[in-house]
Amino acid sequence: MTPAQHTETAPSESAAATIAGLRTRPRRTVLAVPGSSVKMIGKGRGLPVDEVFLDLEDAVAGPAKEQARENVVEALTSGGFAAPTVVVRVNAWDTEYTVRDVTEVVGRAGAHVDALLLPKARSGAEVRALDLVLTQVEKAAGLPVGHIGIEPQIEDALGLTNIDEIATASARVLTLVFGPADFMASIGMRTLTVGEQPEGYAPGDAYHHVLLSILVSARAHGLQAIDGPFLKVRDVEGFRRAAARTAALGFDGKWVLHPAQVDAGNEVFSPRQDEFDKAEGILAAYAHSTSEEGGARGAVMFGDEMLDEASRKMALVVSARGRAAGM
């Protein structure tokens, strides 16, 4: 069968527009909430995070999976989340739960789901499979097809190896999300503290390769890059340090597990006021200097820095993030 004979249809214009909108939403803080805990779902509702995900995977023990689905459907249909983006993490394809997760959650509450988080994504085929199941469930439920996104989680060596095919396997893909705990286990890293450097490695960042690989692949395919959890939830300074590293690299946001991490996450992944002001200043100076009335020059001095078109692009990134954060 040639690709042209494949039964898939291109996303409709409205689906493409919805997905494009979801891709650019802020995700400075992504709150993980176990679907098995009605109490934590209730608490998560009110937290000022950019995205919340209701977890059916590793935060939920096997015997609690069914009840967790019920809780998640109930939480979605009753709504009330402060987070503008609401996501559900289904179970990975190597379990017996994935199809039932999608059928139950999207079939009964799909109108309230912005995206599914796919853990332990190992190949483009896994993302494609989720896309196909989603499409069937959307049709059966009378939902518009293609409006629910997919956020694949890169959590093991194979997933990292196949990252570009994962990023491009479906028009629904919004982000690439790092899963440090599973990833560390997968490669045999000698540490038990998720988010911290492994003892004996310093100086250096043991995560640099994987983080940059995720970020570069995400950017190559127009997606956001999201860092995973920092498990020592009471160590807010440790969280802040870890978040600041990935923010500096260019990541869009990071998971938060606890209310104490929320303000720090929102702050670290927003530009500082002085950075935002400088970016706006660069854009204004560059716009003037490249206009006819400003002499149509391609390079211009801004303070003691020489700016050119590449500087404009860097300033645009900071300016767009600041605007998204309400600056």
The secondary structure of 121-182 as a DSSP string is --SHHHHHHHHHHHHHHHHHTTPPTT-SEEEEEE-SHHHHHTHHHHHHS-TTB-EEEE-HHH
Interface with Mg ion, residue 179, by CB under 5 A: yes
CB of 183 to ligand GLV, least distance (A): 7
Q: Which one among 138, 151, 156, 182 touches Mg ion, defined by CB under 5 A?
A: 182
Residue 44 interacts with, from ligand GLV, Mg ion, none (CB under 5-8 Å by kind): none
Return the range that interacts with Mg ion (CB under 5 A); candidates 79-87, 137-145, 169-177, 181-189: 181-189
Q: Which is nearer to Mg ion, 136 or 161 (CB)?
A: 161
Q: Which is nearer to ligand GLV, 81 or 255 (CB)?
A: 255
Q: Which is nearer to Mg ion, 110 or 179 (CB)?
A: 179
Closest C-alpha among 78, 129, 77 to residue 106: 77
Size of the site for Mg ion (CB under 5 A): 3
CB of 124 to Mg ion, least distance (A): 19
Helices (H) and strands (E) in the chain, counts: 13, 10
- The two beta strands, 300-302 and 305-307, are antiparallel
- 3-state SS assignment for residue 326: coil
Is residue 102 within 8 Å of 143, Cβ to Cβ? Answer: no
Q: Which is nearer to ligand GLV, 180 or 271 (CB)?
A: 180
Q: Which is nearer to ligand GLV, 153 or 319 (CB)?
A: 153
CB of 255 to Mg ion, least distance (A): 10
CB of 19 to Mg ion, least distance (A): 24
For 88, 104, 199, the CA distances from 116, given in Å and listed in that order, are: 5, 13, 34
CB of 181 to Mg ion, least distance (A): 5
In the complex, which residues of this chain contact ligand GLV (CB under 6 A)? 58, 119, 155, 179-182, 194, 228-229
Radius of gyration of the chain measured on its C-alpha atoms: 21
If 0-12 CB within 10 Å is exposed, 13-18 middle and 19+ buried, where does residue 149 land?
Answer: buried
Interface with Mg ion, residue 151, by CB under 5 A: no
Contact residues for Mg ion (CB under 5 A)?
Answer: 155, 179, 182
